[in-house]
Chains A and B, each alone.
Chain A
Amino acid sequence: MNDDFAPSGLDNDNDAYTVRPYAVTGGRVAGEADGLALEALVATRTDGKPQKGLTPEKKKILHLAAEDFISVAELSAHCKLPLGVVRVLVTDLAENEYLTIHTTTPVNVPVEDRSGITRSLLESVLDGIAAL
């Protein structure tokens, strides 16, 4: 663990996450970020702006998403931050053109809506699992 990326206010004990989530998001609550799927993929923009002045949490997200695409859920796990907090931070970083969000998961539709599940997609998944 690079100490630069430790949540602010944290000592050397990575397990003891003591910063209140609202402090990390600068007081923002989910709102628009609510719709961001757990499996939405995030990638740090290579033409990104200088990260000077960003919070350690945001820098850590950009670092994690620089290698390859990474999901919101994975960011939450690696940063040891609740999902809601990561959603806010990711949405914020995307709005400020630090990263891109890639997702096909529908938002604001009933759970019953299965319009995104196509036969060709399922065939690819089936072939893929069978080949494991």
Chain B
Amino acid sequence: MASQPSEAAVANSAAHVAPTVVKIVIAGGFAVGKTTFIGSISDIDPLNTEAAMTEHSVGVDDAGGITERKTHTTVAMDFGRIALPGSLWLYLFGTPGQDRFLFMWDDLVRGAIGAVVLVDTERLDQCFPAVDYFEGRSIPFIVAVNCFDGVARHQLDDVREALGLSAEVPLIYTDARDRAATKQALIAVVQLAMERLK
């Protein structure tokens, strides 16, 4: 606006100091609502990026010999960004859905505050790899049961037992479509990370 001539100048000077970047990883099985979760709170529409990778596979050729083949495949992941006061940018990275790309997670998780594991109670087993991954590396994580229709069909105690979660892992209901619920889930992760500092 014309009445605020200093805005551009402020933006310019601020641009010389890079924001501090933090990230939280959003994990869970395929189609559990990770992108919806990210989109409910992100400043930008969730973006999609691809990592190309080479997979080795072994096959048998026509002559009966063993051949090693390299196939190029891509892994897609969605992410969002939230600007917080004090020149802090919070990135939310969704993990690639398929278990076989678990090795890629190190890139996403290194330096992260923690993780939200989204769970669909109809397909509990889909979140096992994520839970195992974060437990094994002592990464602070919470498990959030996504109530698709706003109705919780399972008691949290039952979910905890089914997942074999220790009492220290926060377990909450969430609604990936709802900004307030998403916010609470993110707060729970940061609080957990703070407790772990003690």
Contact = CB atoms under 8 A, between A and B. Distances in A.
Contacts of B164: none
In terms of DSSP, what is the predominant structure of the interface of chain A?
Answer: mixed
A132 interface: yes
Nearest to A85: B52
Interface string A101-132: 01111110101110011010111111111111
A127 B22 CA distance: 14
A76 B49 contact: yes
A39 interface: yes
A56 interface: no
Contact of A43 (B18, B23, B109): B18
Interface of B: 15, 18-23, 41, 44, 47-53, 74, 79, 81-82, 84-86, 88-91, 93, 105-111, 113, 137-139, 179, 183, 186-187, 190-191, 193-194, 197
Given A82-B52, A105-B21, A122 B81 contact: no
B51 A73 contact: no
In terms of DSSP, what is the predominant structure of the interface of chain B?
Answer: mixed
Nearest to B24: A125
Contacts of A71: 21, 81, 91
A128 B110 contact: no
| Residue in B22, B81, B82, B91 whose Cβ sees the most chain A Cβ within 10 Å | B22
A104 to B, nearest CB: 7
A41 B18 contact: yes
A37 interface: yes
Contacts of A129: 82, 84, 90, 183, 186-187, 190
7 contacts: A39-B91, A73-B49, A106-B111, A122-B193, A125-B90, A128-B84, A129-B183
B197 to A, nearest CB: 6
A90 B147 CA distance: 41
Contact of A124 (B82, B88, B179): B88
